[in-house]
Amino acid sequence: MRLAHLSSSLPALVAVGLIALVPRLAVAEPTVVASIPPVHSLVAGVMEGIGDAHLLVKGGASPHTYALRPSDATLLNRADIVFWVGEELEAFLVKPLAALGGGADVVALSKAPRLKLLAAREGGLWEEDEDEHEHEAGGDHEDEHEHEHEHEHGAHDMHVWLDPANAEVMVEAIVATLVRRDPAHAKAYAANGASLRGRIEGLKSEIKATLAPVAGKPFMVFHDAYQYFEEAFGLKAVGALSVAPQRLPGAKRLGELRERLVSAGVGCVFREPQFAPKLAETLVDGTPARIGVLDPLGAGLKSGPDLYFRLLKSNAEALRNCLESKPAG
């Protein structure tokens, strides 16, 4: 508050010739940019009461298909801190971030210490691909599966925020960065971080209770974004419609998906608001499976500290509602 007061007396300072001091005093908190809504939400939670963070990928956009706008570039150029998940998710940021001067702290949260990072699953039909899993463990699948490698999604599953334990680790990394960059607010960042982690603990128990009745019930998703959520809460996705969100499956693959859908007794196919619903509709047509909606990002949610919590809760509710009801057929 003292700083705010000082900046409001700026004309007086100018008048007494202290202009050189003004920029430093007037900047009360760093300019912070976050890539996607869930990351922005955690950052906004840590900065609550201190300042606002800017969000790049808004509304219904997907980081997989996003193109940087000129206004985003301007924003990045004046950023003190940029939080993103990492180059395997927000490919659109790789070049712009590399072009920034050394002034900004660029923090890839997927590299946060103690964060759980899973390997990307391959092929989009997971349960029966035992061979591929063995290859994966041996790390020698590169050549054999070159033809279907998805470079947009890379070697790691980057949807790390969907495990609440990872969100807690991310909060710690966000606090550490802000404290280093803006030590004047260290106490407030630390206090916000502690209360956020407490809220996330509560969220974990709440979601566990919501999802307990549908644990192990097979479902399919639009793209392979929910592995962390599945592992955290004992869920069983058996496949993804699209190997990469920006590439739609052909007729052969649709046939395989439909076969798996029937053989695995899939009760629900979840589409995503970031992508057209037609594919999911085509797949379930003539089968007993229902369509639900899962969203890894929070397309319809208001950005801010609560988004992360609403996002995970609404996905848990969507899974429960769809998987709990009896098949339509």
Residue with tokens 């960042």: 189
- The DSSP code sequence of 176-195 is HHHHHH-GGGHHHHHHHHHH
Tell me the closest approach of the beta carbon of residue 244 to Zn ion, in angstroms: 8
81 vs 93 by CB, closer to Zn ion: 93
Q: How far apart are CA 83 and CA 173, in angstroms?
A: 10
Helix (H) or strand (E) holding 316: helix 307-324
Q: Report in angstroms how near the CB of residue 138 gets to Zn ion at its nearest.
A: 26
| DSSP label of 325 | S
Q: Which of residues 258-277 bind Zn ion (CB under 5 A)?
A: none
The gap between the terminal CA atoms of the chain, to the nearest Å, is 63
Q: Which of residues 112-171 bind Zn ion (CB under 5 A)?
A: none
Closer to Zn ion by Cβ: residue 125 or 225: 225
Identify any residues that bridge with 242 across adjacent strands, giving them in sequence order. Answer: 223
Q: Which is nearer to Zn ion, 55 or 188 (CB)?
A: 55
| CB of 159 vs Zn ion, minimal distance in Å | 6
Dist CA 35 CA 94 (whole Å) = 12
Cβ proximity to Zn ion: between 104 and 225 the closer is 225
Q: How far is the CB of 184 from Zn ion (least distance, A)?
A: 37
Residue 139: CB atoms within 10 A of its CB come to 9
Q: How many Cβ atoms sit within 10 Å of the Cβ of residue 56?
A: 26
Total interface residues for Zn ion by CB under 5 A = 1
> Strand 268-271's sheet: what is its strand order?
236-242, 218-223, 268-271, 290-293
**Minimum separation from the CB atom of position 142 to Zn ion (A):** 21
Integer angstrom CA distances of residue 22 from 7, 13, 31, 80: 8, 7, 17, 18
Which residue, 82 or 244, has its beta carbon nearer to Zn ion? 244
Name residues whose C-beta falls within 8 Å of residue 4's C-beta, 6 or more positions apart in sequence: 28
Nearest distance in Å: CB 299, Zn ion: 13
Instruction: Show contacts with Zn ion in window 182-241 (CB under 5 A).
Output: 225
Give kind and range of the element (H or E) at residue 174: helix 164-181
- Which is closer to Zn ion, CB of 150 or CB of 172? 150
Minimum CB distance to Zn ion smaller for 76 or for 225? 225
- Least distance in angstroms from the C-beta of 153 to Zn ion: 6
**162 or 225: CB nearest Zn ion:** 225
Stated as kind and residue range, the H or E segment containing 25 is helix 22-26
Token pair, residue 236, equals: 């069983």
Least gap, CB of 298 to Zn ion (angstroms): 13
Residues near Zn ion (CB under 5 A) are 225
